[in-house]
Structure 1
Amino acid sequence: MNGWFLTAGTTAAAVAVVHIVAGGRDVVRPLLAGNLPDEPRRVLHTVWHMVTADLVLAAAALIWLSLRERPGGDTIAWLLAGHFVAYSVVFLMVTLAADWSKPLLRLPQWMLLLPVAVLAGIGTL
């Protein structure tokens, strides 16, 4: 068993739960209640659900990799690590581009996503 992958997968699963619960309350409900035109609102709603599926599947893949005894998971793990790095970078870029006080805390999702990348990366070593 690879404890690093298991920890990465468990962390990713926790991130998915936070996304579902807090994102549903703080992002999706206001989005759907807002006055955006119907088509962009529905596209954004769909994208939110796509990210939900993505986070759940990534968590499952990391947990599955942790339980494998045979080699060959490193490529998948590196891809998943890169995936979480990319998510973190996007959140950081969007956050830092906004004119907010304490911008790194306004959209703290990067703080949840980056540890998954680090743990998955360490698990490949």
Structure 2
Amino acid sequence: MNGWFLVAGALLVVAFFVHSVFGNRLYAAARPEHAALRAYDAWLMGRCGMQMIGADLLLAAGFLLLAGSGVIPRSRELELFVLLTYCAWTLGWLLSLIAERSGSRYYFRLCQWVLFLSVALLTGIGTFCG
């Protein structure tokens, strides 16, 4: 039993449901009219990205919960993959905010990076100390 993985997996399950319900509502509200073809194309590509993020959250949660509860054997390679994935999500999110010159309020308002960092830290602790 690896409690670090279980907590990280539980965070990702909650994030998946928040992303699926509230993120979907927020994103749907930003939908441009079909007449604005380039804007609609960009919005639709972002919509596909939303679905990919949902799959990422759910698959990582499943792996962490199954590995953490001992249902599947531990795999150092997959643990490191999840760790590096969420480190990359954290870094990518923060670099995007920096590149867009977002004001400081957006670091707290769009604080998904905190979730990504938390999952990375919990996974790292579970991998190396658990």
In structure 1, list runs of 5 or more residues that go unmatched. none
Change (3 A) 1:121 1:99: closer
- The alignment covers a number of residue pairs equal to 124
Q: % of aligned pairs identical?
A: 31
Pick from 60, 66, 69 the counterpart of residue 68 of structure 2. Answer: 66
Structure 1 counterpart of 2:119? 116
Q: Counterpart amino acid of 2:51?
A: H
Q: Is the 8 A contact 1:88 1:113 kept in 2?
A: yes
Q: Is the 8 A contact 1:91 1:110 kept in 2?
A: yes
Structure 1 length-normalised TM: 0.86
Change (3 A) 1:54 1:69: closer
Structure 2 length-normalised TM: 0.83
RMSD across aligned positions (CA): 2.0
Structure 1 counterpart of 2:95? 93
CA distance in 1, matches of 2:50, 2:107: 21
**Secondary structure at 1:32 match in 2:** coil
Residues 10-63 of structure 1, C-alpha deviations (whole Å, 9 max, x = no match): 11111212211221122x213324655333222211111111111111100111
Q: How much does 1:8 deviate?
A: 1.0
Q: Which moved more, 1:98-107 or 1:60-69?
A: 98-107
CA distance in 2, matches of 1:117, 1:5: 10
Q: How much does 1:74 deviate?
A: 1.9
Q: How much does 1:104 deviate?
A: 1.6
Q: Is the 8 A contact 2:32 2:43 kept in 1?
A: no
Change (3 A) 1:99 1:51: closer
Structure 2 counterpart of 1:19? 19
Structure 1 stretches of 4+ moved >6 Å: none
